[in-house]
Amino acid sequence: MSAPSNTTWSPLFKEAVSTDFRDFHECLDQDKRIAIYDVAASKVHARMLAQAGVLTSQDNSAIQTGLDTIAEEIRTGIFEWKKELEDVHMNVESRLTALIGEAGKRLHTARSRNDQVATDIRLYARAELDALSLELKTLILAFIDLAEGHADTIMPGFTHLQVAQPVTFGHHMMAYAEMFFRDLERVSQARERLNVSPLGAAALAGTSYPIDPDFSARELGFSRAFRNSLDAVSDRDYVVDICAAGSVVMGHLSRLAEEIILWCTPMVDFIEIGDQFCTGSSIMPQKRNPDLAELVRGKAARVIGNLTTSAALMKAQPLAFNKDQQESKPPLTDTLENVRGAVAVTAQMLPTIRVKAENMRAAAEQGYSTATDLADYLVRAGLPFRDAHHAVAAIVGAARDQGYATLAEIPLATMQAFAPVVAADVAEVLTTEGSVACRNHRGGTAPEQVRRAAAELRALLG
């Protein structure tokens, strides 16, 4: 097979393009994602040119009709992609010219593939971020539903993965709701920064034609047009922004996934997730593996890698556009697709969680989890906190030596040997229910506060 000609560019090129270079160079697999946005931006560009008197109304009408046909071909999957045309822009322009003739060749007046691709990517990313925002809201609501349903369900709270203090499962779920609410803000901020139109910046210096970039920006739903043509075509910081936001989202999902995996193991046995989100084993018939959580945890590493790629890609490029920037598409599209997928499927999984409340409560009673409550009791009885802390540590040590599993089991006389101010009413603060209930302040784990926080966040989501 002979190498393709180089007449796509101009008669300046005398040698045919190397077939291997063509294959290395083309990016159609990535560009197919932005094709519909390329058509949309081209329609606006043609209308702007007609309004400026650069295109005739007849040429504009033909271009609009031809681009509508191409959009339908792309949507229905019958558009014929040609590798030798290298990218989405040349494929669309070639098809347009085939459909409407000479008018199709006039579409590229006053623009470059540099501002064209920058516009297309921003339009694609904006739509994906809008969809991700909706999916994040669904995920947050799923956490809120779980929190409200388990505002009274006691579980151990951990530090260093050691039992620390009793909390409620609802409080634990609301911690994730807060994380993803901040992620929703991150996504919104990334969208706000990218929502600037580069169309009209041309190759790097703008154009000599009497264009109206503000018109194009308004028609495409951007908040404004570019202020500097060099910056408009040469930076991809919005890609780094998106990959950064995606990395944080996936980091939060990965933390949840790790806990789900831990809670599902029979050695912990706090929860069970629905069959539709588990797999079995080809050899061990008893296995029920939380593969969704494991995949989310694995994909988090992939998305974090995309952030590294996108940031490193831009660090040494001189102004303005360089072909390196073609490599900004894979980390962007991979991040958006994987983050959206992970968020959506996790939101579907959460309502299938079956909480094993008795197992959680029993675990919360281990490790002398109400020791801080005992120390607070001693402080209220008049001891300085540091002395109270020391006394309770001694009481816990005695409990271990004497084989008491919880502080509530320790005889009153044993506690009084280390802290004489202890009285019979100490029993009220040594239960897990009492520990949780007394933390009845904003942000605390008391059931009343969990319900308040859930209602507040639900209202913020609208």
DSSP per-residue letters across 202-233: TTTT--SS---HHHHHHHTT-SEE-S-HHHHH
Q: Which of 220, 167, 222, 226 is nearest to 202 (CA)?
A: 226
Distance CA 99, CA 63 (A): 9
Task: Give the active site residue among 5, 57, 223, 281.
Answer: 281
Asked if 154 contacts 436 with a C-beta cutoff of 8 angstroms, the reply is: yes
Looking at the chain, the number of H-run helices and the number of E-run strands are 19, 6
Asked if 242 contacts 335 with a C-beta cutoff of 8 angstroms, the reply is: yes
What number of residues does the chain have? 462
Q: What is the DSSP letter of 212?
A: -
Is residue 150 among the annotated active site residues? Answer: no
Is residue 45 among the annotated active site residues? Answer: no
Instruction: Find how far residue 294's CA is from the centre of its chain.
Output: 17
| Continuous H helices in 267-328 | 291-314
Distance CA 375, CA 369 (A): 12
Distance CA 12, CA 207 (A): 23
Q: Two tokens at 378?
A: 């001693």
For residue 229, count other CB atoms closer than 10 A to its CB.
21
Q: Two tokens at 296?
A: 């989310």
Task: Give the active site residue among 10, 160, 208, 282.
Answer: 160
Q: How far is CA 298 from CA 143, 145, 310, 313, in A?
A: 22, 27, 19, 23
Positions annotated as catalytic residues are 160, 281
